[in-house]
Chains A and B, each alone.
Chain A
């Protein structure tokens, strides 16, 4: 029998949210049983030292206002660990693109990041936080030596080919261009006014659901595009419009096609959806 793959989980500058998200993975025990955990910032593991690993997991961004650790500054420490690892899972938007806190490991927002040269062995899992199933999926695929189909940014296609719009319970409202007039209602789609970025955000969160039960747009909160390079954009609760027309339209359609369809749908009113979904007299 092969020995268990050695996994090293390093936290750079972040909020530990990726770890706490991962803790919600239902079969975490079964998963951890299959690996040898060299280090994790919170889970019981061995002493922190620079060492070889089969899988290196990097959580958090690169930033210079960080005290040296084992006499390495943060960037050098990450560099050493990457060199000594076979595969690297770049976990979370901070680590993939930079997010709120700094520069990413693989990218720096839209540009190449400090460790872009190691892209070959990296798998990118953006998300603030990434969904626990995503992290587990990549670890499992690596354990089993299976091929992970990836896009140009090294994101697994089985996750990021979806948009967070797919699976939203407000889809019918989106179809008929019925917006939410105010926060806190079950009716309406949050795309037109409240800033929902679902139709152009790569994520399967609304399909597999958070905590096995819900999602932001389902709970009336717009999607903030937490898996994307420019997260967090400005004015997150407001749809960016140019002359009243959404600045960002659903992935894959031309503006002309979208505006035509939108105009038609808006003109042909859906009576049922124009009323409160649950009301006393219907």
Chain B
């Protein structure tokens, strides 16, 4: 058996992939992340509101998801119900974060590992998306506008009209990347000389968040962390590994289902689902933006000072869980479980994680691409 160590770069952060091979094919894989930042410890004893500033800094590309999960966890702990307007605004900014993530992932992370591409159109696109987030939330990255009890902003119809028109414009522009009927020139070009059916995985999917149009198929209560060979922890659901993310949460969609039936949970389906999800999010946001009542209160002040809570959402890469324990308005304990932990756990040969399973039986040359299809966030993992 031959073992090679590969450094995977151009993802969010870096990781090492240790491949065990036999006859050129991968037999087993181990994944190592390089750093540990100690965020959970850092939060301890701080005012719980501080988590709304610190947690977005877990990640530069999906920090807004961490903010929303934080506020949800605190709201759950302190029995706060937020208004409908605040809820819709959060859906919009979170949905947009997912969109900018997917675009950057496709053109900056994935594509260049296969062939050259003009990635500036992706940056231009995500810049415009970030601008819509900023219009509501103040800035992107790293805003803190979604706080326990609602949102800090107080929009007028001028902003709402701009948000709406910008959404339509960007949805329209996205059709060149992936159309609503599932056509994508860039995607087909990417696969011009790669087989579409490689990288099949566990075929076991989990959705825990209920935000946007997603419907959960499980309960975060059954999620457990365990130590692993890497600095990060493994994550299991009812003692099994599950794939989370755009493929998992979009199998209800007819088009994605059709691709899935043809290629199963291969890299092509995984990429297709991620790119197509953008369309579904745009459609959903354009629907809810009209359901906002501008006169509704933006914020309701929390009263309780103690409690335990959990915040679960579907973030760009899948299910994200934040748990908090608050004592006298201070953080007693904090726990973060990120989507990449689900997908990239280090299992054993007879109990593989989704990423490990997807590599088995494939050529080493394809490992980078297969691996990156999970849209790895090493930054989040090393929280």
Contacts and interface: CB of A to CB of B under 8 A. Distances in A.
**Is A in direct contact with B (CB under 8 Å) within the complex?**
yes
B58 A15 contact: yes
Interface string B32-64: 101111110010001101101110011111010
Interface stretch (A144-152, A208-216, A257-265): A208-216
Interface of A: 11, 13-21, 23-26, 28-29, 41-44, 48, 63, 65-67, 69, 99-101, 128-129, 182-186, 205, 210-221, 224, 226, 232, 234-238, 278
B169 interface: no
Interface of B: 7, 9-10, 12-14, 16, 32, 34-39, 42, 46-47, 49-50, 52-54, 57-61, 63, 86, 104, 108-109, 112, 116, 119-120, 123, 126-127, 130-131, 133-145, 147, 149-154, 156, 231, 297-299, 301, 379
A221 B144 contact: yes
B299 A100 contact: no
B57 A218 contact: no
A182 B109 contact: no
A224 B153 contact: no
B138 A215 contact: yes
Nearest to A13: B35
Contact of A44 (B112, B135, B143): B112
8 contacts: A65-B231, A67-B32, A129-B141, A183-B301, A214-B134, A226-B142, A232-B50, A232-B54
B140 A185 contact: no
B127 A218 contact: no
B60 A220 contact: no
Contacts of B151: 184, 220
Given A29-B123, A184-B86, A205-B139, 20 more contacts: A13-B37, A14-B60, A16-B379, A17-B57, A17-B142, A25-B127, A28-B120, A42-B104, A43-B119, A65-B38, A67-B231, A184-B153, A185-B298, A210-B139, A211-B133, A214-B138, A221-B152, A234-B46, A237-B47, A237-B49
Nearest to B15: A67
Contact of B134 (A13, A213, A234): A213
Contacts of B109: 42
A183 B152 contact: yes
B270 to A, nearest CB: 20
Contacts of A234: 46-47, 50
Contacts of A216: 138-139, 143-145
Contacts of B299: 182-184
B170 to A, nearest CB: 14
Contacts of B152: 183-184, 219-221
Contacts of B14: 41, 69
Given A44-B112, A232-B53, A183 B60 contact: no
A29 B124 CA distance: 9
A19 B13 CA distance: 11
Given A101-B37, A214-B139, A15 B63 contact: yes
Q: Quick one: which of B130, B135, B139 has the most chain A CB within 10 A?
A: B139
Given A26-B127, A183-B298, A221-B152, A236 B50 contact: yes
A99 B135 CA distance: 26
Contacts of A215: 138-139
B54 A220 contact: no
B108 A43 contact: yes
Contact of A16 (B35, B59, B112, B119): B59
B57 A15 contact: yes
Nearest to A12: B35
Contacts of A186: 154, 156
Contacts of A42: 10, 12, 104, 108-109
A61 to B, nearest CB: 9
B147 A183 contact: yes
Contacts of B16: 67
B141 to A, nearest CB: 5
Contacts of B137: 214, 219
A109 B154 CA distance: 35
B123 A128 contact: no
A16 B35 CA distance: 13
